[in-house]
Amino acid sequence: MKKVLVTGADGFIGSHLVEGLLEEGYDVRAFVYYNSFNSWGWLDTLSKEKLSKIDVFTGDIRDPNGVKEAMKDIDEVYHLAALIAIPFSYHSPDSYVDTNIKGTLNVLQAARDLGTKRILVTSTSEVYGTAQYVPIDEKHPFQGQSPYSATKIGADRIAESFYKSFKMPITIVRPFNTYGPRQSARAVIPTIITQLLAGKEEIKLGTLTPTRDFNYVKDTVRGFLEIAKSEKTIGEEINIATQEEISIGELAQELIDQINPKAKIVCDEQRMRPEKSEVNRLLGANEKIKKLTNWEAGYSLKEGLAETIEWVKNNLDKYKVDIYNI
């Protein structure tokens, strides 16, 4: 049985990936952020039966020694630990450099020392910035339009350098906008859903015109699993994308129609990104992942949104609806 480590296992995508790996029969170690509350993030919501099968390791991705300890006896590493909120990166860029760049370096150094058989480094569609052409394939130029994006570009390039310099079995996995149950309210879909379910008639949003390519979280997880199964993906950068786009305005309208057709959208200045930092269009190409693996999207946007709404309905108490979450 393969022993795998998921960093960022306490987060949104990480917790779903842990479940996906358990279902596939892997022996899973979950690296979660050490804190005095002894919180394991979203893993705390899993059943006792699932938790009993997980080896939980508390640590800090910024600490090389802890990362190396966590990676001992591990065959494959799925590195997801990162700071991800774009607005927060505007005023705390240092923490993004420490977590996203140095954290990734810690994983790579440990993998090199320990001879880890496979490393998947998680990137983001934000590294591409506003589309210069569509669909955005893996050869698209990188644009650091926010400190968050810049640190993810840095992490990706360090991963590339370790593959090329030390022949390490690394793949850079690049999901486009992932959504679904457990996503934090700093992301657009939970922001809209929580406001609607809380009975608000005016839904506060930033710019409505940007487009995004939305992956349902179970499809993103399937992407990771299929990429890890294929030897052909080593040394590659691979998008996980639906190759379909929708504007934030259209998305909000779809959710309004599903939850409360009386609601209206209001533009909120504080939610706007600085003009040159706004990524206006993301539409990902998925030819490469389809060519190299058996992956394909299993959920339509409508189906994914319906499952997400249902989950948020039952977990509204976990959200602070009355504040702008950055």
Q: What is the pLDDT along the chain (326 residues), one digit of tens a residue?
A: 899 999 999 999 999 999 999 999 999 999 999 999 999 999 999 999 999 999 999 999 999 999 999 999 999 999 999 999 998 999 999 999 999 999 999 999 999 999 999 999 999 999 999 999 999 999 999 999 999 999 999 999 999 999 999 999 999 999 999 999 999 988 899 999 999 999 999 998 888 999 999 999 999 999 999 999 999 999 999 999 999 999 999 999 999 999 999 999 988 777 666 878 778 899 999 999 999 999 999 999 999 999 999 999 999 998 987 766 66
Task: List, in order, residues 6 or more apart from 139 with CB less than 8 Å away.
Answer: none
Comparing CA positions, the residue from 192, 205, 187, 186 lying closest to residue 309 is: 192
Comparing CA positions, the residue from 136, 142, 140, 147 lying closest to residue 157 is: 142
Say if residues 143 and 128 touch (Cβ distance below 8 Å).
yes
pLDDT for 186: 83
pLDDT for 206: 83
Which amino acid, 120? L
Comparing CA positions, the residue from 153, 219, 207 lying closest to residue 20 is: 219
SS3 letters across 152-184: HHHHHHHHHHHHHHHCCCEEEEEECCEECCCCC
Q: Phi and psi of 137, rounded to 5°?
A: -95, 180
DSSP structure string for 185-201: TTSHHHHHHHHHHTT-S
pLDDT for 20: 98
Distance CA 99, CA 117 (A): 23
Q: Which domains does the chain have, with CATH numbers?
A: 3-178+216-240 (3.40.50.720)
pLDDT for 325: 66
pTM here? 0.96
Residue 55 is given by DSSP the state E
Distance CA 83, CA 81 (A): 7
pLDDT for 55: 98
